[in-house]
Amino acid sequence: MQKSMGITLRTANRGRHNRTNQFIIMICNKAKVLMSAAIDGELTAKEEEELSDHLATCAQCRDEFQEAKNTKIIIQERMVRVKAPKNLIESIVRMTTVIS
């Protein structure tokens, strides 16, 4: 038996994603939510630890997390930044300025 995120797991079920073990599915679902925040650097220390613990025991989530990190790197490398024209910026500021 292994304890992860407050839930005791059977060693034989570590990392499996099936309908017979709702605890594993629940942990994986939470991990997927944390993965997105982790990639953006938005996790608390506790959340980072929870995700790290889960990824250490779940190969499928670990692979998914690595793939998501690789995708972000590719997007960042290919992203072209363009400066908005001054008149567009001024127009947006005028349209969003609250009149007191």
Which residues span the domain enclosing 51?
A: 2-96
Q: What is the DSSP letter of 93?
A: H
Rounded to 10°, the helix 45-57/59-78 angle is: 120
Q: What total of structural domains would you count in the chain?
A: 1
Spatial contact of 25 and 17, defined as CB atoms under 8 Å apart? yes
pTM: 0.58
| Mean predicted confidence (pLDDT) in 37-64 | 93
Sorted by sequence, the CB contacts under 8 Å of residue 47 that are 6+ apart come out as: 34, 37, 38
pLDDT tens digits along 9-28? 333 344 444 444 556 666 88
Strands (E), the chain: 2-4, 7-9
Q: Is the pLDDT of residue 70 over 80?
A: yes
pLDDT tens digits along 56-65? 999 999 999 9
